[in-house]
Structure 1
Amino acid sequence: MSRHTLVMRIGADDVADPGQRLTGGFVTELPRYGSFASIDHQIGDTITQLQSMGLRPSERALDLAVLAAAITAADTRISRDSDAQDGWTRQIELCVPVSDSRVWTDAGLLIERTLNFLTGDIWFITFRERAVSVQTLIPASTGTLTEKPQSVCLFSGGLDSFIGAIDLLSGGERILLVSHYWDRVASKHQKLCLDALKEHFGEGTFESVRAYVGFPKGAVADSHDEDTLRGRSFLFFSLAALAADAIGEGTVIHVPENGLISLNVPLDPLRLGALSTRTTHPYYMARFNELLRSVGLTSRLENRYRHRTKGQMVAECADAAFLRAAAANTMSCSSPAKMRFDQDEQRRQAKNCGHCVPCLIRRAALLHGFGADDTEYQLEYLGAKALDSTRATGEHVRSFQFAIAQLAARPQRARFDIHKPGPLTDHPGDWGAYEQVYRDGIGEVAALLNGVVSRPGGG
């Protein structure tokens, strides 16, 4: 196991001792950011895009975005395989300059606890004052908006975020959509979805910010790259908080995510730890909101679909006809950048694979909401032949079938299963609703997999 310390520096005069707490590990100095332009570029030119609308966030909100960028560097460029004793849990320290180190140091334990839950690693966060030359980084806004957005909505290019935008726009709410992307596939689908929304609701009915945030391969010394990306929602939430802070006090950040995925109850015993993501889990979102309050940022995350399945989101969408016509533009796959092959082993464009956990939930949702499986996958009907449970096409089908069988045999287990991925202590009055969304979500997938056979070797 290797420990890693990443030191971020802003300004030519940032030469202070970073306050390192971990010893005996590797230390990486991330590329120095000498000015506002360089740090804004690292967070996807988000502030420049906001400024063009006449929106200017605070230095405190920028601190959060800078912290999120450092987290992204560590999460994506420190290998679990080579640097974790158990093949998963890494020890990572970040040394970050901020505009008010006292405020951020007071929040340090909360940040570490939040990240430990989110990524499954052990984090150490050390803050220090920014250098004198960069005490104030954000220049005055350059543009104007005739009408400010009322709220922020996360916009990933997936089906849930597309429905979230449709519902808000159909209700007459003026929104600012915030996106970030890791690859060209995600970027392509975000653009397709944004163009569809503009064509349907009209130019000027919403604003959007899109940010590419990433670090080059090999950015962390003595390690290899990592593709599990468990910390990605900290970056997503932080960019949204930056935008919300620029809009004004108390701005709501909508996080459109169905309750089944948000809870992410493990389908089988093997999925409890490393394979379970917690990107929108209620406990994590509660901690992030607590973090915002603790550093004096007044925006808050809100998931209005936390008690709805994906299928219910589809069925209850405020503009079902538009959703049905445009749903193929969205990307829900867990591995969208992987190249797919058809039955003749001919390469075709990367798109929803149709057989990972998010894709199966998506197909079940469209079956529930529209009465038909999603034909965009260009795959055989799931029940056409027995699937090989040892291969990608059948592995997650088999996991779902295990969960379906377990729940059918003992329906009462749902009230206990919903607590396995993480605490629900922040929402004691919602336990019944979370139990119901878990039952309903598994039921939707059961309807999709009715008659489907998966076994080792297929057939």
Structure 2
Amino acid sequence: MSKHTLVMRIGGDDVADSGRRLAGGLVTELPRYSSFSSIDHQIGDTITQLQAMGLHPSERALDLAVLAAAITAADTRISRDLDAQDGWTREIELCVPVSDSRVWTDSGPLIERTLNFLTGDLWLVTFRERAASVQTLVPVSTGTLTEKPQSVCLFSGGLDSFIGAVDLLSEGERILLVSHYWDRVASRHQKLCLEALEEHFGEGTFDSVRAYVGFPKGAVADSQDEDTLRGRSFLFFSLAALAADAIGDGTVIHVPENGLISLNVPLDPLRLGALSTRTTHPYYMARFNEILRSIGLTSKLENRYRHRTKGQMVAECTDKAFLRATAANTMSCSSPAKMRFDQDEQRRQPKNCGHCVPCLIRRASLLHGFGTDDTEYQLEDLGARVLDSTRATGEHIRSFQFAIAQLSAKPQRARFDIHKPGPLTDHPADWAAYEQVYRDGIGEVAALLNGVISRPGGG
């Protein structure tokens, strides 16, 4: 096991003591960012894209994006297997220069608690003043927008975010879609979905920012790469907050995510920790909104689908015919970077796997909303054979079947199960609605898996 301290430096004159507090940690100095252009490139040229629209974010919003980039470096380049004492929990410190260290230091404990909940690690975050040469980084915007967006909407290229965009555009809201991507598979599906929206709703009806944010392999000394990516939504939310701040005070950031995935109740006892993600959990989103307030940003995350299953989102979409015609362009798979090709090597089209948790919820939702599913999956027919529950193709199906059986035997357990992934203390009036969306979501997957058999060894 090794503890890690990552030090970020901005400006050639950033030579001050980093202020690190983690005793005994291996120290990695991330590549120095000498100017605005280098730091903007690291956060996916997001500010440059905003400037082209005539949008100008604040230094405080840039600080948040810089922090999110440092979190991404740590989360993706520090190995749990190699550096965690228990195979999961890492000890990580970040040392980040900001435009107002007093404000950020006051918010530090809240940020650390939020990250601990999100990733399951132990975080320390230390802030110091930016160097004199980079006290102001964001240049004045020169572009103009004929019509400023009314809100920001996260846009991953998945089915939920696509429905969120369709609903908002159908309601006549002008939105700024914010995307980030890790690989060419996600990028491809985002582009397909954006093209479909533009063709359907018309050119100029929405704006879009797409950011690639990543660090090279081996960026952290004496460690290996990590692919669990539990901190990815901190980056996604921070890029959206950067855009929202550029639009103006009080801008809403729409987070389109179905309630079953947001709660992410563990399907079986083994999924409580490592396999239960919290990227849009209500507690985490409440803490992120608290962070925004604590550092003086006025935007706010909202999930209008928190009490809806994915199937209900499909069935209630405001432009159901368009959704049905284009849903196959979206990517829901938990591992989109794993290329999945058709047997015909000439096509080489990546596919949703069809058997991971997000894919199963996707399949169930399209069955619920449309009665059919036109998506091509690596595992096309779930009932064609007995699936091996010890292998990838059957593991998550068996977990769902366990949860379905448990809930069927004791329906009242739903009121307790919804609290297992994290506190719902910010939303006591919503407990009944969260219980219902959990029941309904499990019911949709149960309908999909009716007649499907999985067991160790398959058959």
Q: TM-score range by the shorter chain?
A: over 0.9
Contact between 2:264 and 2:421, CA under 8 Å: does it hold in 1? yes
Task: Determine the C-alpha separation between the residues in 2 that align with 1:28 and 1:224.
Answer: 13
Contact between 2:310 and 2:441, CA under 8 Å: does it hold in 1? yes
Residues 161-217 of structure 1 show CA distances to partners (whole Å, capped at 9, x for unaligned) of 000000000000000000000000000000000000000000000000000000000
Aligned equivalent of 1:175: 175
Aligned equivalent of 2:356: 356
Contact between 2:354 and 2:360, CA under 8 Å: does it hold in 1? yes
Residue 344 of structure 1: how far off its partner (Å): 9.9
Structure 1 residue 254 corresponds to structure 2 residue 254: yes
Aligned equivalent of 2:139: 139
Contact between 1:367 and 1:374, CA under 8 Å: does it hold in 2? no
Aligned equivalent of 2:411: 411
Q: 1:343 to 1:44 in 2, by over 3 A?
A: closer
SS in 2 for 1:5: strand
SS in 2 for 1:67: helix
Residues 31-77 of structure 1 show CA distances to partners (whole Å, capped at 9, x for unaligned) of 00000000000000000000000000000000000000000000000
Task: Determine the C-alpha separation between the residues in 1 that align with 2:226 and 2:329.
Answer: 28
Residue 342 of structure 1: how far off its partner (Å): 6.0
Aligned equivalent of 1:47: 47
Task: Determine the C-alpha separation between the residues in 2 that align with 1:349 and 1:314.
Answer: 25
Contact between 1:30 and 1:219, CA under 8 Å: does it hold in 2? yes
Residue 351 of structure 1: how far off its partner (Å): 1.6
Structure 1 residue 115 corresponds to structure 2 residue 115: yes
Q: 1:70 to 1:411 in 2, by over 3 A?
A: same
Residues 392-421 of structure 1 show CA distances to partners (whole Å, capped at 9, x for unaligned) of 111110000000000000000000000000
**Letter of the 1:77 counterpart:** R
Aligned equivalent of 1:303: 303
**Letter of the 2:174 counterpart:** R
- Please give the residue correspondences for 1:168-247 in structure 2 after superposition, counting only pairs within 5 Å: 168-247=168-247
Residue 384 of structure 1: how far off its partner (Å): 1.6
Task: Determine the C-alpha separation between the residues in 1 that align with 2:157 and 2:344.
Answer: 30
Task: Determine the C-alpha separation between the residues in 2 that align with 1:56 and 1:132.
Answer: 22
Residues 261-315 of structure 1 show CA distances to partners (whole Å, capped at 9, x for unaligned) of 0000000000000111000000000000000000000000000000000000000
Aligned equivalent of 2:92: 92
Aligned equivalent of 2:6: 6
**Letter of the 1:396 counterpart:** H
Residues 310-352 of structure 1 show CA distances to partners (whole Å, capped at 9, x for unaligned) of 0000000000000000001100000112133668999953220
Worse-matched range after superposition: 330-339 or 116-125: 330-339
**Letter of the 1:337 counterpart:** A
Contact between 2:342 and 2:349, CA under 8 Å: does it hold in 1? no
Contact between 1:352 and 1:377, CA under 8 Å: does it hold in 2? yes
SS in 1 for 2:376: helix
Structure 1 residue 446 corresponds to structure 2 residue 408: no
Residue 391 of structure 1: how far off its partner (Å): 1.0
**Letter of the 1:385 counterpart:** R
Task: Determine the C-alpha separation between the residues in 1 that align with 2:364 and 2:374.
Answer: 9
Task: Determine the C-alpha separation between the residues in 1 that align with 2:439 and 2:15.
Answer: 55
Structure 1 residue 273 corresponds to structure 2 residue 279: no
Task: Determine the C-alpha separation between the residues in 1 that align with 2:374 and 2:401.
Answer: 20
The percentage of aligned residue pairs carrying the same residue is: 90
Aligned equivalent of 1:335: 335
SS in 1 for 2:267: coil
**Letter of the 2:22 counterpart:** L
Contact between 2:352 and 2:378, CA under 8 Å: does it hold in 1? no
Task: Determine the C-alpha separation between the residues in 1 that align with 2:220 and 2:64.
Answer: 21
Task: Determine the C-alpha separation between the residues in 2 that align with 1:456 and 1:115.
Answer: 36
Task: Determine the C-alpha separation between the residues in 1 that align with 2:341 and 2:249.
Answer: 49
Residue 383 of structure 1: how far off its partner (Å): 1.3
Contact between 2:353 and 2:378, CA under 8 Å: does it hold in 1? no
Task: Determine the C-alpha separation between the residues in 2 that align with 1:86 and 1:343.
Answer: 40
Structure 1 residue 160 corresponds to structure 2 residue 160: yes
Residues 114-140 of structure 1 show CA distances to partners (whole Å, capped at 9, x for unaligned) of 000000000000000000000000111
Contact between 2:95 and 2:125, CA under 8 Å: does it hold in 1? yes
Residue 23 of structure 1: how far off its partner (Å): 1.6
Task: Determine the C-alpha separation between the residues in 1 that align with 2:61 and 2:142.
Answer: 19
Structure 1 residue 366 corresponds to structure 2 residue 366: yes
Contact between 1:340 and 1:347, CA under 8 Å: does it hold in 2? no
SS in 1 for 2:173: coil
Q: Which runs of 5+ in 1 are unaligned?
A: none
Contact between 1:363 and 1:374, CA under 8 Å: does it hold in 2? no
**Letter of the 1:12 counterpart:** G
Residue 377 of structure 1: how far off its partner (Å): 1.6
Task: Determine the C-alpha separation between the residues in 1 that align with 2:341 and 2:394.
Answer: 16
**Letter of the 2:156 counterpart:** S
Task: Determine the C-alpha separation between the residues in 2 that align with 1:264 and 1:117.
Answer: 14
Q: Which runs of 5+ in 2 are unaligned?
A: none
Task: Determine the C-alpha separation between the residues in 2 that align with 1:346 and 1:35.
Answer: 44
Contact between 2:28 and 2:221, CA under 8 Å: does it hold in 1? yes
- The aligned length equals 459
Task: Determine the C-alpha separation between the residues in 1 that align with 2:187 and 2:261.
Answer: 22
Aligned equivalent of 2:15: 15
Task: Determine the C-alpha separation between the residues in 1 that align with 2:206 and 2:13.
Answer: 41
Q: 1:98 to 1:86 in 2, by over 3 A?
A: same
Contact between 1:337 and 1:351, CA under 8 Å: does it hold in 2? no
SS in 1 for 2:179: strand
Task: Determine the C-alpha separation between the residues in 2 that align with 1:407 and 1:344.
Answer: 42
Task: Determine the C-alpha separation between the residues in 2 that align with 1:342 and 1:97.
Answer: 47
